Amino acid sequence: MAKKPSGLQGLQQHLSQTFSRKASARHDLKSKIPNPFSTGSRRESDKLTEILQSMDDDDENSSSNNEELNLEIGDKNLKKKKVKGKKNLHTKSQIFKYAYGQIEKEKAMQEKNKNITFSGLLSLAKRSGEEIRKRPKIEIAFKELTLTLKGTRKCIMRSVSGKIMPGRISAVMGPSGAGKTTFLSALTGKITGCTMSGMILVNGKNESIHSYKKIVGFVPQDDIVHGDLTVEENLRFSARCRYQMHPYFRLYVLILLSLLNPIIRRLSADLPKQDKVLIIERVIEALGLQGVRDSKVGTVQKRGISGGQKKRVNVGLEMVMEPSLLILDEPTSGLDSSSSSLLLRALRREALEGVNVSMVVHQPSYSLYKMFDDLILLAKGGITVYHGPVKKVEEYFAGLGITIPDYVNTPDYLIDVLEGITKPEGDITAQQLPVKWMLHNGYRVPPDMLHLCDESGTSSPSSVGESKNKSYNGEIQREVPTYSFFSTPDLSGRVTPGVFTQYKYYLERVLRQRTRDGRVQAADYIILLLAGACLGTMAKVTDDTFGATGYQYTVIAVSLLCMIGALRTFSLDKLQYKRESSSGMRSLSYFLSKDTMDHINTALKPLVYLCLFYFFNYPRSSFGSNYIVLVCLVYCVTGIAYTLAISLEFSQAQLWSVLLPVVLTLIANQSNKSAASLITPFVFPKWALEAFIIANAKEYNGVWLMTRCAALKHYDYDIHNSNRCLWLLVATGVGTRIIAFICLLTRQR
Ligand SMILES: Nc1ncnc2c1ncn2[C@@H]1O[C@H](COP(=O)(O)OP(=O)(O)OP(=O)(O)O)[C@@H](O)[C@H]1O
């Protein structure tokens, strides 16, 4: 495993070098280019063979090493060969050779045509016989989209109409606080705390965008990535979980779905492993992340890759799942101009495949601005000033009498006008620009803005009346239906891995994260060990108490320490979970994988604690019976900790994790007369204490039976209750896990 990354980097570099030296010889992409593996210098090819050999050695299926690869870069029949050769691509080296071959071929094409405009690339690709894979298309049309904050009733978006189209890159610009993020969040159904009215049509139909969540990529403004994983691991996990499920299960689902729903016919065929690798490698290449592919991303506490690189990983997480709609919130912030342009080129490739790309962008350079197809310009208050092709921006504003001065970047000038920093030439004011846009398109002008029409002097009352008639007859004023998790059908046409397959992927990821988090885990165990030693020494076992004091300390200490440890399971990656679940990853797999990994703690932590506690305290009951009670107790409190972690903020959850074991253990020891004793039978420390003491009491016989009976009576325990107590602890553990999972589904959406 350790060999692979360096091997990959080496292979990638060799291929790049070999290709760049041969770039001049590449006259025609259709023509067959000699295989770089056989034509490089002897030294290079030896080294390359070494790298590939080491990768093959790693692979279980190295039996196919001797098979000749049909890797002929630039061969127009590559697709045919790929299909024919799919069965042969078993080993890692074969898969990566195929992936890099494809990438180099694409790079060669880009190199050859670097002076051609982006839109020219599409037609050129078609002419050269290159097949550009198309994805399912998503067009979003929105009519009179209006958003009002629920509490204050403040309107943060007004009557925004238009559409974003597949195959185009739209830039959303405007002054700070204009509502750009709000607008894109509204389109992707991620807005919360607002009442939304208007209409959003997906591919012309009144359907929820959540039905397409598996093919909608949303890149948030903040970099929500896994800091303890490497760049490649982040991307690989994202790609794996969002692609097709296990072959056998997939076949079953395909048959079932095709009987039920004709949409299944639009499903893309399953992606073979080499194509998944190709997608990941293409994204790494396109985003310029080759140099850091094996570096940990890093967190606020522990630095990893740079901020700009993290930003690109953030984008890459969505690109690897091959979305049809890709929404990005300020992906170029913090990037230098060459990285921004690299990113835009990568997004252009997406657009060529039919992806609908929309992004919020701040202060783009002129060359970057020209890379966009469409511009959505919003004024403060979330109201449209312009929405259309970038090419026609100057023309439109010139029609209003606003001329962009020479040597001034168009978006900068327009945003200055909207901010009120620059006063436009002529009579027009910044406040009139939204009304001008409405009138220009014949949209309905809101009544409170009608006075701006009159002031402008260019629109007669009749034209206003005309535009009024073009309103949507009240139809659009209804509230956009809110997202219901259980009632939204999946129309994305993409079959993602099933619960079990995703569970396996998640398990692998959690295992990696836990092993990298070893110091924190080790600290937990050391604290438990010390607690066991201290409490074992402090508490003395006497025949009339059965060592009750020591067990009370044990229940408090073990519950408290294990609960706080278990809080980390779900508290620390809430944002990551939210992002992953909103793009169709399975919550059940996520939950079960984390719980499975915690079972190791459930088994080991009692053992660690008891090692020293039992040695110093030396109760009458056996080590095994004490261990069983502690395992049940840890299982129970872990479930409670999950519920707290998922439903509360981390700091609040911590407080509750301290409070509950202490208070409930005190309640468990209440005498029969107090008010608190009413709930004593229902608290988990009581069941654990009873189980511990019964285990001790069972060791007494003969004349000691009298002592045993008297002592148990004092505590109100029943010698026959032992199993019942253990079952209650386990049942509480299961019950609280179910509650935690329901909270996960409902609260974090
Ligand atoms: N959930 C919310 N609660 C309160 N105010 C909100 C909420 N969502 C949006 N707003 C308000 O709506 C306005 C637009 O916010 P938004 O983040 O969309 O602006 P923006 O154009 O993306 O800004 P920037 O360019 O600075 O990121 C802001 O005034 C913001 O305070």
Please give the backbone phi and psi of residue 679, each rounded to the nearest 5 degrees, phi first. -100, 0
Residue nearest to atom 9 of ligand 1 (CA): 182
**Mutational pocket test of ligand 1: of 157, 158, 182, 219, the residue with most ligand atoms within 8 Å of the beta carbon:** 182
Nearest CA to ligand 1 atom 1: 193
Summarize the confidence of residues 203-208 as an average pLDDT: 86
Which is the closest atom of ligand 1 to the Cα of 179?
18
Distance 182 CA to ligand 1 centre (A): 6
Tens digit of each residue's pLDDT (9 = 90 or more) over 647-697: 999 999 999 999 999 999 988 887 666 777 778 888 999 999 989 988 887
Q: What predicted TM-score, i.e. pTM, was given to this entire model? A: 0.72
Q: What is the pLDDT of residue 748?
A: 56
Q: Using the mean position of ligand 1's atoms as its centre, give its distance from the Cα of residue 479 in Å.
A: 20
Lowest mean pLDDT among 218-232, 243-257, 307-321: 243-257
Find the 653 Cα to ligand 1 centroid distance in Å.
29
Q: What is the pLDDT of residues 96-136, one digit of tens each?
A: 677 667 767 766 666 655 554 545 555 555 544 445 556 78
Residue in 145, 172, 180 to alter for ligand 1 test, most ligand atoms within 8 A of Cβ: 180
DSSP secondary structure letters along 511-576: HHHHHHTHHHHHHHHHHHHHHHHHHHHHPPP-TTTTTHHHHHHHHHHHHHHHHHHHHHHHHTTHHH
For ligand 1, residues with CB inside 6 Å are: 149, 156, 174, 176-182, 193
Q: What is the pLDDT of residue 735?
A: 97
Question: Dmax over Cα atoms in the chain, in whole Å?
Answer: 108
Residue 325 has, within 13 A of its CA and on its CB side, a CA count of 27
Collapsing DSSP states into helix, strand and coil, what is residue 436?
helix
For residue 22, what pLDDT band results from cuts at 50, 70 and 90? very low
Neighbouring-strand partners of residue 145: 160
**Percentage above 90 pLDDT, the chain:** 26
What is the average pLDDT score of the chain? 76
| Number of the ligand 1 atom closest to the C-alpha atom of 221 | 27
d(CA 179, CA 147): 10
Q: What is the pLDDT of residue 548?
A: 81
Both tokens of 464, joined, read 């206003």
User: Structure tokens of 51?
Assistant: 């790298």
Q: Give the whole-angstrom CA distance, residue 535 versus residue 538.
A: 5
**CB contact at 8 A, 510 and 233:** no
Question: What ligand 1 atom has the least distance to the C-alpha of 329?
Answer: 22
Q: How far is the CA of 273 from the centre of ligand 1 (A)?
A: 42
Six-digit token string for 521: 């885990």
**What's the confidence (pLDDT) of residue 738?**
96
**pLDDT tens-digit map of 552-567:** 999 999 999 999 999 9
Could you read off the pLDDT of 40-79 as tens digits, one per residue?
A: 444 444 444 454 444 444 444 433 433 333 333 333 343 4
pLDDT band at 480 (very low <50, low <70, confident <90, very high): low
**189 Cα: distance to centroid of ligand 1 (angstroms):** 16
> What is the model's pLDDT at position 639?
97
Distance 396 CA to ligand 1 centre (A): 28
Q: How many Å lie between the centroid of ligand 1 and the Cα of residue 573?
A: 24
For 416-463, the pLDDT digits (tens) are 888 888 887 777 788 888 888 888 888 888 777 776 665 554 444 434
Q: Indicate which residue's Cα is closest to atom 31 of ligand 1.
A: 177
Tens digits of per-residue pLDDT, 140-161?
999 888 988 887 888 888 888 9
pLDDT winner (highest mean) among 10-24, 301-315, 475-489: 301-315
Ligand 1 centroid vs 183 CA: distance in angstroms?
9
Atom of ligand 1 at shortest distance to CA of 192?
A: 1
Q: Report d(CA 392, CA 390) in Å as an integer.
A: 5
- Whether 335 shows a pLDDT value over 60: the answer reads yes
Whole-number Cα distances in Å, 289 to 9, 309, 522: 11, 7, 33
Q: Which helix (H) or strand (E) segment is 158 a member of?
A: strand 155-164
Would you place residue 90 in the very low, low, confident or very high pLDDT band (cuts 50, 70, 90)? low
DSSP secondary structure, 570-612, as one string: HHTTHHHHHHHHHTT--HHHHHHHHHHHHHHHHHHHHHHHHHH
Residue 177 CA, ligand 1 centroid: distance in Å: 5
**Alpha carbon distance, N-terminus to C-terminus of the chain:** 37
Residue 257 has pLDDT above 70, yes or no: no
Q: Which residues pair with 479 in a beta bridge?
A: 197
**Strand boundaries in 273-332, DSSP class E:** 325-329
**Predicted confidence band of residue 736 (pLDDT cuts 50, 70, 90):** very high
Number of other residues whose CB lies within 10 A of the CB of residue 643: 22
Q: What was the ipTM of the complex prediction?
A: 0.95
How confident is the model at residue 32, as a pLDDT? 38
Nearest residue by C-alpha to atom 24 in ligand 1: 176
Mean pLDDT of the 384-412 span: 88
Give me the amino acid identity at 408. V
Give the pLDDT score at 339. 85
Residue 466, pLDDT > 70, answer no
Q: How far, in Å, from the CA of 179 to the mean position of ligand 1?
A: 5
Please give the pLDDT value at position 43: 46
CB neighbours (10 Å) of residue 383? 24
**Ordered domains of the chain (ranges, CATH):** 7-127 (no CATH), 141-476 (3.40.50.300), 499-746 (no CATH)
What spacing in Å lies between the alpha carbon of 439 and ligand 1's midpoint? Answer: 26
Residues 6 or more apart whose Cβ sits within 8 Å of residue 545: 711
Percent of the chain predicted with pLDDT > 70: 69
Tokens of 658: 């301290």
Q: Which atom of ligand 1 is closest in space to residue 194's alpha carbon?
A: 1
Mean pLDDT score, 15-43: 40
- Does 40 or 317 have the greater pLDDT score? 317
Structural tokens at position 734 = 């299961």
Residue having the nearest C-alpha atom to atom 11 of ligand 1: 156
Poorest-pLDDT segment among 229-233, 253-257, 438-442? 253-257
Using CA positions, which residue lies closest to atom 10 of ligand 1?
A: 156
Instruction: Judge whether 211 and 203 are in contact, CB under 8 Å.
Output: no
* Residue owning the nearest CA to atom 14 of ligand 1: 179
| Nearest atom within ligand 1 for CA of residue 382 | 14
From atom 8 of ligand 1, which residue's Cα is the shortest distance away?
182
| The token pair that represents 227 in the structure block | 């800091």
Query: What is the structure's pLDDT at 101?
Result: 73
Tell which one of 154, 156, 173 to mutate to probe ligand 1, the residue whose CB is within 8 A of the most ligand atoms.
Answer: 156
For 347-356, the pLDDT digits (tens) are: 988 898 889 9
Nearest atom (ligand 1) to Cα of 183 = 18
pLDDT at 685: 93
Tens of pLDDT, residue by residue over 168-200, are: 999 999 998 889 999 999 988 888 888 888 888
User: For the purposes of burial, counting CB atoms within 10 Å of the CB of 690, is it exposed (0-12), middle (13-18) or buried (19 or more)?
Assistant: buried
SS3 category, 389? strand
Q: What is the pLDDT of residue 644?
A: 96
**Which two three-digit tokens encode residue 575?**
């944002």
Listed ranges 263-272, 273-282, 519-528; the one with the highest mean pLDDT: 519-528
